[in-house]
């Protein structure tokens, strides 16, 4: 049985390893644009030079799992075609291409490996006192601005977004602002209209000077599913059934950021259980057993504010926030452990998660 996994992020790597462990007859091929596993949750560290986000895929995948370096151009009837003209046949496919970015012209996007590398180079070339503007008030933007301020205290760092940390409780939001303030990050609550050379134009009519402007908004998914004729939501995420299979083709599982799973938030905390569940479902079907519907509940959100501070926001299983949050050094240590556990989970295919709300 030939299984092709498209995309070697959290969901894809865990799925490939778990299928390899559970379905001995499976010949598994992972297709990914580069021979490395990129820990996207560490891209802000890669940008700031405080951490490394890439690990060779060979050290992440079980023995026997093949890697084909390339970009899938189209998923056809039992075959994927690659942009280098090659193709790979499949009986089952796991679509795990994650999410991507749609940056404003004049900015460098930190949410992809290529963008993060470009941002790292640009940042390294900035002299003392230069201004870095991070666009995006969500957790990616906050982590990026904080990490740069921590790693390069000689620069002036600013974060711009209509609201900062909108997904957190009021108390945690305040704490994030205090943490940013401690790191010297200027907070501008406004929307960005456009980027002019050396300047960020804001919707309110004002503008701010900027030597390097980073785009830290994860706003879209690759159009591979739509291009391949799979049913997708308006935002391009593939529509799946309760077992995470494409409603257009039951041979195709869709997991991670690119899957339209009701109630799911784009996160590695979501991608890992989905990758595991797809592998378990495939194994069950191979053994002639009934598949079980996917169910997953959240426990919270975690963000780093540099290497010595962070915030852990508690949530209910349905991902609505509770009032409780933890901040400071302990939160920072826990956040680091979460990142390590996510990578460990993908590599070993062992990952535990809560069932979703009733």
Beta bridge partners of 135: 160, 215
Among 94, 168, 266, 327, binds ligand FAD (CB under 6 A): 266
Q: Please report how close the Cβ of residue 298 comes to ligand FAD at its closest, in angstroms.
A: 10
d(CA 113, CA 120): 10
- For ligand FAD, which stretch binds (CB under 6 A), given 57-65, 129-137, 260-268, 325-333? 260-268
Q: Please report how close the Cβ of residue 131 comes to ligand FAD at its closest, in angstroms.
A: 20
- For ligand FAD, which stretch binds (CB under 6 A), given 1-9, 158-166, 177-185, 321-329? 1-9
Touching ligand FAD, residues 119-148 (CB under 6 A): 140, 143-144
- Supply 122's token pair: 């640009």
- Supply 6's token pair: 């498209």
Binding-site size for ligand FAD (CB under 6 A) equals: 37
Q: Please report how close the Cβ of residue 299 comes to ligand FAD at its closest, in angstroms.
A: 11
Element (H, E) at 269: helix 268-286
Q: Are 69 and 63 in contact (CB under 8 A)?
A: no
d(CA 51, CA 313): 23
Rounded (to 5) percent helix, strand, coil in the chain? 30, 30, 40
User: Please, which residue, 204 or 344, has the CB nearer to ligand FAD?
Assistant: 344
Q: Are 135 and 215 in contact (CB under 8 A)?
A: yes
User: Please, which residue, 19 or 271, has the CB nearer to ligand FAD?
Assistant: 271
Among 72, 145, 261, 349, binds ligand FAD (CB under 6 A): 72
Touching ligand FAD, residues 2-41 (CB under 6 A): 6-12, 31-33, 38, 40-41
Residue labelled with tokens 């592998």: 279
- For ligand FAD, which stretch binds (CB under 6 A), given 93-101, 228-236, 242-250, 306-314? 93-101
Beta bridge partners of 28: 3
Which one-letter DSSP state was computed for residue 240? B
Q: Please report how close the Cβ of residue 14 comes to ligand FAD at its closest, in angstroms.
A: 8
Closest CA to 49 of 179, 159, 148: 148
Q: Give Cα separations from 62 to 17, 67, 95 (angstroms).
A: 6, 11, 19
SS3 labels along 283-342: HHHHCCCCCCCCCCECCEEEEECCCCCEEEEEECCCCCEEEEEEECHHHHHHHHHHHHHH
Sheet order of strands, 310-315 included: 300-304, 310-315, 321-327
Touching ligand FAD, residues 155-214 (CB under 6 A): none
Contact pattern from residue 278 through residue 307 relative to ligand FAD, giving x for each residue in contact according to CB under 6 A and a dash for the rest: ------------------------x-----
Q: Please report how close the Cβ of residue 100 comes to ligand FAD at its closest, in angstroms.
A: 7
Q: Please report how close the Cβ of residue 151 comes to ligand FAD at its closest, in angstroms.
A: 14
Binding of ligand FAD at residue 269 (CB under 6 A)?
A: yes
Among 23, 145, 176, 267, binds ligand FAD (CB under 6 A): 267
Binding of ligand FAD at residue 68 (CB under 6 A)?
A: no
Binding footprint of ligand FAD on the chain (CB under 6 A): 6-12, 31-33, 38, 40-41, 43-44, 71-72, 96-99, 110-111, 140, 143-144, 218, 222, 224, 256-257, 266-269, 271, 302
């Amino acid at each position: 049985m030939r299984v092709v996994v498209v995309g070697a992020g959290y969901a894809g790597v865990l799925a490939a390893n778990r299928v390899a462990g559970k379905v001995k007859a499976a010949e598994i091929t992972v297709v990914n644009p580069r021979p490395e596993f990129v820990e996207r949750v560490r891209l802000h560290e890669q940008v700031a030079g405080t951490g490394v986000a890439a690990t060779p895929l060979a050290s992440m995948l079980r023995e026997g799992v093949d890697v084909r370096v390339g970009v899938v151009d189209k998923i056809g009837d039992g075959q994927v075609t690659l942009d280098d003209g090659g193709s790979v046949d499949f009986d089952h496919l796991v679509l795990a291409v994650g999410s991507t970015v749609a940056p404003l012209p004049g900015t460098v996007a930190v949410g992809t490996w290529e963008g993060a590398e470009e941002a790292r180079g640009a940042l390294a070339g900035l002299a003392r006192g230069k201004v870095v503007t991070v666009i995006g008030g969500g957790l990616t933007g906050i982590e990026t601005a904080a990490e740069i301020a921590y790693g390069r205290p000689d620069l002036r760092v600013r974060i711009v977004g209509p609201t900062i940390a909108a997904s957190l409780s009021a108390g945690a939001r305040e704490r994030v602002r205090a943490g940013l303030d401690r790191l010297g990050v200027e907070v501008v609550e406004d929307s960005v209209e456009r980027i002019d050379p050396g300047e960020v134009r804001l919707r309110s009519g004002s503008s701010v000077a900027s030597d390097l402007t980073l785009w830290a908004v994860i706003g879209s998914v690759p159009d591979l599913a739509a291009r391949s004729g799979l049913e997708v939501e308006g935002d391009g995420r593939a529509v799946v059934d309760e077992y995470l299979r494409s409603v257009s083709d039951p041979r195709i599982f869709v997991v991670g950021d690119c899957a339209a799973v009701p109630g799911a938030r784009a996160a590695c905390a979501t991608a890992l259980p989905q990758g595991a569940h797809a592998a378990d479902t495939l194994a069950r079907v191979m053994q002639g057993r009934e598949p079980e519907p996917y169910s997953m509940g959240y426990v919270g959100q975690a963000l780093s504010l540099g290497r010595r501070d962070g915030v852990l926001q508690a949530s209910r299983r349905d991902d609505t926030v509770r009032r409780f949050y933890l901040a400071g050094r302990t939160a920072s240590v826990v956040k680091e452990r979460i990142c390590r556990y996510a990578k460990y989970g993908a590599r070993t295919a062992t990952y535990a998660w809560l069932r979703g709300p009733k």
